[in-house]
Amino acid sequence: MIRYERDDADVAVVIGSGPGGSTLALQLVREGFRVVMLEAGPWIPNEDFVNDERIAFDQLTWKDPRRATGTWQLAKDFPGSPAWTGKVVGGTATFWTGLTPRFKSHEFEAHRSYGEVPGSSIADWPVTLEELSPYYERAERAMGTSHRHGRPPMPANNNYKVLANGAQRIGYEHFATGPYATNVEEYDGRPGTLRDGFCQQGDKSTAKWSPLVSEIPKAIATGLMELRTNAQAVQITLGSDGRADGVVYADENGALHRQRAAIVAVAGNAIETPRLLLLSATAGHEDGLANSSGQVGRNYMRHVTGVVYGEFENEVHMYRGEPMAGIVNDESRHDPRRGFSGGYYLEMIAQGLPSFTTFMTPGGWGPEFTSKVEAYTRTAGLWICGEDMPRETNRVTLDGSLLDRLGLPSPSVHYDDHPNDVAMLDHAYRQGEKLFRAVGATRVTKAPAMPSGHNMGTARMSEDAAAGVVNGFGQTHDVPNLFVSDGSVFTTGAAANPTLTIMAIVLRQADYIVRQARSGAL
C-alpha cells in the first residue's frame, strides 16, 4: 500500500471507511486522485470474524461513550447506547443486514407530498429520484444486489415463509426476499452465500457486500489510496483562505498527527460526523465548522422502529439462512387515511439467542420472560422500518461531562418521538400482530426499538444555506472543499434502509467533485 507524507498538500482526506467514505475514495482514485483514508478502528479481515454475537459485538462495535436523552425508549432501556455503529474497517456495513430498497419519489419531496407537519422540520430534498436513479443502478451493481439487473433472488428460509404467508393472508401483495446485498451466486470475485445465519455479525465467507471486501481493496489496488487504521479524526483545520487544509487525528496511543489536504470528506456516520464538525470550531466558526446555519447536529433521525415476534407450535429456527432477506412493501406508501404521513416496511429479522434475550424484553425477568426464551426456536420475527419526522430539537451535541479516551466531549443524542412517529408505530405493531396471527401464532410479543443502526440527518442537504449544512452534492455551504459523505446529509429519512441511498448519493457526489476539481473550482 502506498504511503503519503503528512505534509502532502494535494491529497483528498476521507474520514471513515464505511459505505459512504469507501465509495467516494474508490471513485476518486479511479479518476487519478490521491487519497488518504482515516479509519478510527482496526482492520479485521473476514477470516478473523467470530460467529458469536457477544464476541462480535466487542470486536466490531463503536463502544466509545455516548449518551441518549429525550423521551424515546432507548433513553430508558439503553441510555449509554443510542446507536449501534462500527469502529472497524468497513464501518457499520461489516455487520449490516443487507436490505437495499430505493427511496420513493414522494419521499424526496416530503414537504410537497405531506404538507406541513406541525412540530417537524420537514423539507424537500434538493435531489430528485430521477436525478438519483442512474446512481441507484450503479450502487446496486457495485453491491451485486439480488432481484436487480438480472441477479437471482435470495432463496427463502423458514422465517421468510412465515412472513410471506402471513402477508398474503392479510391482503398484502408486494413482498420478496430482497433486494438484498449478499451474493446468491458468485459475483465480483466473491462466492455465493452459505446461508449460515451468521453474516449479520461479520461475514466470514465474503458473500455479503461490504466495503471491506469490495471498495477498499479495490481502491488500495490502484496504488493511489493509503488507509490509516486506528486513526480517529479529532479536528478539521482551515487555512487563511477559509478552506479546509488538513485533518488532525489521534493514533491508537493517543498521539496527535496532522495530515494536510486539498479536499476533506467526512463520512463518520450521523453521530460522529456532526461531533467532528462541532469539535472543529475555530475563529470565524465558533459554533462549529460548516455551522453558520446552526443546523449541524440537528434533525437527527433513526427511523420508526420496533420488533414483533410471533410464537408458533412448530419449529421456525429464524436464525437459519440470511437474517433479513425478506421485506413487505405494501405499507411504504403515503396514505394519510391511516392516520399518519409517510410509510413503513415490515422486514424479516433474525437474531441469535443473546440478541433475542437482550432486546425482546429489555431488562426482562420472571416466568413469562423465561417462557418466551424457551420458545426461541419456535419464534419468527419482523422488524418495523418507517419514516420518522425530522425535528430540529432532535440533535447531536457535545457533552462536556462525558469524555472519551482522548479527553474530548462525547456525543449526546437527544430524541423525542413525534406524534406522527407514534401513530405510525402503533399501526405497524397492529399489522405485524395481524400478520403473525393469520398464520397461527399462539403468542405475539411487541418489542421496542434497539440501539439505532439507521442514523441520519445532522448535516442535512438544503438549497438555502440558512436551512442546512450541505448542498445537493454534500458540499458544505460554508467551506467549498469540505464535503459530507454519509447519511448525515439526508433531508428526511424516508422508510427505506439507508445504505443503498448513501452509496447512490456519494457516487453522484464523486462525479461532482471530479468535475469541480478539474475545472479549478475546488
C-alpha dist (Å) from residue 247 to 7, 87, 108, 262, 320: 11, 19, 33, 11, 44
pLDDT band of 51, cuts 50, 70, 90: confident
Q: Is the pLDDT of residue 198 over 90?
A: no
Average of per-residue pLDDT across 150-171:
97
- CA distance linking residue 320 with residue 189, whole number of Å: 25
Closest CA to 48 of 227, 219, 203: 203
Q: Is the pLDDT of residue 201 over 90?
A: no
Per-residue confidence (pLDDT) for residue 2, from 0 to 100: 96
- CA distance linking residue 334 with residue 511, whole number of Å: 32
Per-residue confidence (pLDDT) for residue 183, from 0 to 100: 96
Straight-line distance from the first to the last Cα atom of the chain, in angstroms, rounded to the nearest whole number: 27
- CATH numbers and ranges of domains, the chain: 12-46+57-518 (3.50.50.60)
* Single-letter amino acid code for the residue at 263: I
pLDDT band of 355, cuts 50, 70, 90: very high
**What is the average pLDDT value for the chain, to the nearest integer?**
97
Q: Is the pLDDT of residue 328 over 90?
A: yes
Strand (E) or helix (H) holding 396: strand 395-403
Q: Is 291 within 8 Å of 470 (Cβ atoms)? A: no
Q: Is the pLDDT of residue 483 over 80?
A: yes
